[in-house]
């Protein structure tokens, strides 16, 4: 199985979901996505399409009172800023398919960004006489404290996977089969800061034990080489030795991390694995694989005091993204170095 297969398979799934949603909207929406195809990933396009679908649902049911597929650019040209502001208010809480849906200010800002980009395209192509979306203020996003594991909790969560005494009897039964895999995955994520999607996408040949290196596929599709410690190397080798002695694994299965069904492990399965251990180690925190990434980023920033190194290792294209996430730690670092320079 070629090492690009996982990424290709994921893109195919995303494109299928995209096509299904796209058919629910007017044709000029498709033209917009054709225009951005070369500069966006399938996941980004699907997320934007999902957000636009919600916007068109709102317009169809509360503004134009018609099937959303029949909404025209002429209809959109009649919208005022207050219509989009009311849409943002609507997103605070609404019912769909018998469920109450809510959106945080962050989610509202993202949905407004999708509408703005769409209206910008329509206006630039003379399909709208004005761009009212550009006049709508972005919801104020309150900065959140970074949720992460403390240093002692990092050791505890790995130790729990290794020595599962605190797990339920049923969980201990599963742990017998997944212990070495779980330790290897937790160690790799906590020790390198990779995303969960990057972790599950690693193939056997992506790991270079001679140089303590491995290759991942970033969100945009670029291939990047990262490095791991000897401690992580030992955890990976222990897991690989167990895999090699498992006769039930298909020799053509190239994924590094496997499920109990001996197939490539899914993002959802890793999320559940992390939550299982984290709930015991740190019950008051909602720890996800992304919080393991935040834990690594925090520790790396504290050690290096270099935001550019953190941005590079985490794969942030814009260092301002990193600065925003670790602003509170920047304050701590500035306080720590206040007495470094002596005057006399």
pLDDT, tens only, 218-249: 877 788 999 999 999 999 999 999 999 999 99
* Burial track 75-91 (b if 16+ CB lie within 10 A, e otherwise): ebeebeeebbeebbebb
| Residue range of the domain that includes 250 | 151-338
Q: Domain end: 81, 110, 135, which one?
A: 135
Specify whether 118 is located in the same domain as 234.
no
Q: Does residue 315 belong to any structural domain of this protein?
A: yes
Specify whether 205 is located in the same domain as 320.
yes
Specify whether 184 is located in the same domain as 84.
no
C-alpha to C-alpha distances, 151 to 65, 155, 281, 334, nearest whole angstrom: 56, 7, 12, 21
Specify whether 169 is located in the same domain as 284.
yes
Q: Domain end: 135, 168, 187, which one?
A: 135
Q: Does residue 140 belong to any structural domain of this protein?
A: no
Backbone angles phi, psi at 24, to 5 degrees: -85, -10
Of 147, 166, 105, the C-alpha closest to 287 is 147
For the chain, percent of residues with pLDDT exceeding 90: 66
Q: Where residue 300 sits, what CATH number does that domain have?
A: 1.10.443.10
Specify whether 179 is located in the same domain as 228.
yes
CA separation for the pair 91, 104 (Å, rounded):
9
User: Is the per-residue pLDDT at 344 higher than 70?
Assistant: no
Q: How many domains does the chain have?
A: 2
Q: Does residue 273 belong to any structural domain of this protein?
A: yes
List of residues 6+ apart from 343 with CB closer than 8 A: none
Q: Does residue 35 belong to any structural domain of this protein?
A: yes
Q: Where residue 56 sits, what CATH number does that domain have?
A: 1.10.150.130
User: Mean pLDDT in the chain?
Assistant: 90
Q: Does residue 57 belong to any structural domain of this protein?
A: yes
Bridge partners, 226 (sequence order): 214
CA separation for the pair 308, 322 (Å, rounded):
8
Q: Give the model's confidence band at 159: pLDDT under 50 very low, under 70 low, under 90 confident, else very high.
A: very high
Specify whether 160 is located in the same domain as 119.
no
Which residue bears the tokens 């899914």?
266
CA separation for the pair 156, 241 (Å, rounded):
24
More confident residue, 280 or 303: 280
Terminal CA-to-CA distance of the chain, rounded, Å? 66
Specify whether 54 is located in the same domain as 178.
no
Q: Does residue 142 belong to any structural domain of this protein?
A: no
Specify whether 161 is located in the same domain as 103.
no
The answer to whether 69 and 57 are in contact (CB under 8 A) is no
User: Is the per-residue pLDDT at 1 higher than 50?
Assistant: no
Instruction: Indicate the pTM of the whole model.
Output: 0.73
User: Is the per-residue pLDDT at 3 higher than 80?
Assistant: no
Specify whether 113 is located in the same domain as 199.
no
Q: Does residue 268 belong to any structural domain of this protein?
A: yes
Residue 2 confidence (pLDDT): 44
Specify whether 181 is located in the same domain as 308.
yes
Measured in whole angstroms, the distance separating CA 311 from the mean position of its chain's CA atoms is 16
Residue 339 confidence (pLDDT): 64
DSSP annotation string for 14-63: HHHHHHHHHTTS-HHHHHHHHHHGGGS-HHHHHHHHHHHHHHHHHIIIII
Specify whether 108 is located in the same domain as 161.
no
pLDDT in tens, 111-148: 999 999 999 999 999 999 999 999 999 988 776 677 88
Specify whether 224 is located in the same domain as 331.
yes
pLDDT in tens, 285-332: 999 999 999 999 988 888 888 888 888 888 888 888 787 777 666 666
Q: Does residue 264 belong to any structural domain of this protein?
A: yes
Q: Domain end: 90, 108, 135, which one?
A: 135
3-state helix, strand, coil in the chain (%, to 5): 60, 5, 30
The structure tokens listed for 307 are: 């935001």
């Amino acid at each position: 199985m070629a090492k690009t297969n996982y990424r290709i398979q994921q893109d195919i799934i995303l494109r299928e979901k995209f096509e299904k949603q796209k058919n629910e909207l007017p044709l000029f929406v498709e033209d917009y996505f054709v225009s951005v195809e070369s500069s966006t990933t399938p996941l980004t396009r699907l997320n934007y399409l999902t957000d636009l679908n919600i916007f068109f649902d709102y317009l169809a049911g509360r503004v134009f009172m018609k099937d959303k597929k029949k909404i025209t650019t002429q209809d959109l040209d009649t919208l005022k800023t207050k219509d989009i502001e009311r849409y943002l208010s609507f997103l605070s809480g609404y019912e769909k398919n018998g469920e109450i849906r809510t959106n945080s200010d962050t989610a509202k800002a993202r949905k407004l960004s999708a509408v703005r980009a769409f209206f910008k395209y329509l206006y630039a192509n003379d399909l709208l006489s004005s761009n009212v979306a550009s006049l709508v203020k972005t919801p104020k996003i309150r900065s959140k404290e970074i949720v992460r594991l403390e240093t002692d909790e990092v050791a505890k969560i790995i130790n729990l996977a290794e020595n599962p005494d605190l797990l339920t009897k049923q969980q201990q039964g599963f742990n017998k089969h997944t212990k070495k895999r779980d330790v290897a995955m937790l160690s790799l994520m906590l020790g390198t800061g990779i995303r969960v999607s990057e972790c599950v996408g690693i193939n056997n040949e992506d790991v270079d034990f001679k140089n303590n290196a491995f290759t991942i596929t970033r969100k945009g599709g670029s291939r990047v080489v990262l490095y791991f410690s000897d401690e992580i190397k030992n955890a990976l080798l222990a897991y690989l030795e167990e895999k090699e002695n498992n006769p039930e694994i298909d020799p053509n299965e190239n994924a590094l991390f496997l499920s109990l069904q001996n197939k490539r492990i899914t993002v959802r399965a890793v999320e559940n694995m992390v939550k299982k251990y984290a709930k015991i180690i740190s019950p008051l925190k909602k720890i996800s694989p992304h919080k393991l990434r935040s834990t690594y980023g925090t520790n790396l920033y504290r050690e290096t005091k270099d935001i550019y190194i953190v941005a590079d290792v985490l794969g942030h294209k814009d260092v301002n993204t990193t600065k925003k996430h670790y602003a509170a730690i920047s304050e701590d670092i500035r306080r720590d170095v206040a007495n470094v320079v002596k005057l006399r």
